[in-house]
Amino acid sequence: FKEVRFEDSLFEDCYFEDVRSSETFFENCTIISTVFYNTDLYEHKFINCRLINTTFMMEKEGCHIDFEEDNDFLIYLVSFLGSLSVLPGNIISALLMDKIGRIKMIG
């Protein structure tokens, strides 16, 4: 599931295996006798849900960061500003190299 929102649903005797989800949430659901095996569906994805006889086995390991598509621009902007911040130092060092000379700058 990439982006699914289950609301007021009933899951009974279900088996979820190898599920990877980024923006999947369960809201006000009733989940009865269900097994979640090797999934990345964690506790914060079940909002006001009733879990009755539900089992979570072998949860996925590693980094579990949910990336929002809105952050793509911010990531680019921070990277751009970081690159822009070294520009004054590059300009000053180029001007000093012309005034002092390349050999004297190394020494």
Least confident of 14-23, 29-38, 66-75, 78-87: 66-75
pLDDT computed for residue 40 by the predictor: 83
* Beta partners for residue 57, in sequence order: 37
Q: What predicted TM-score, i.e. pTM, was given to this entire model?
A: 0.53
HSE value, Cβ hemisphere, 13 Å, CA-based, for 87:
6
- Comparing CA positions, the residue from 60, 67, 54 lying closest to residue 41 is 60
Spatial distance between the Cα atoms of 4 and 10, rounded to a whole number of angstroms: 15
Cα distances (angstroms) measured from residue 88 to each of 28, 44, 63, 94, 99: 55, 45, 37, 10, 17
pLDDT digits (tens, 9 = 90+) for 20-39: 777 889 999 999 999 988 88
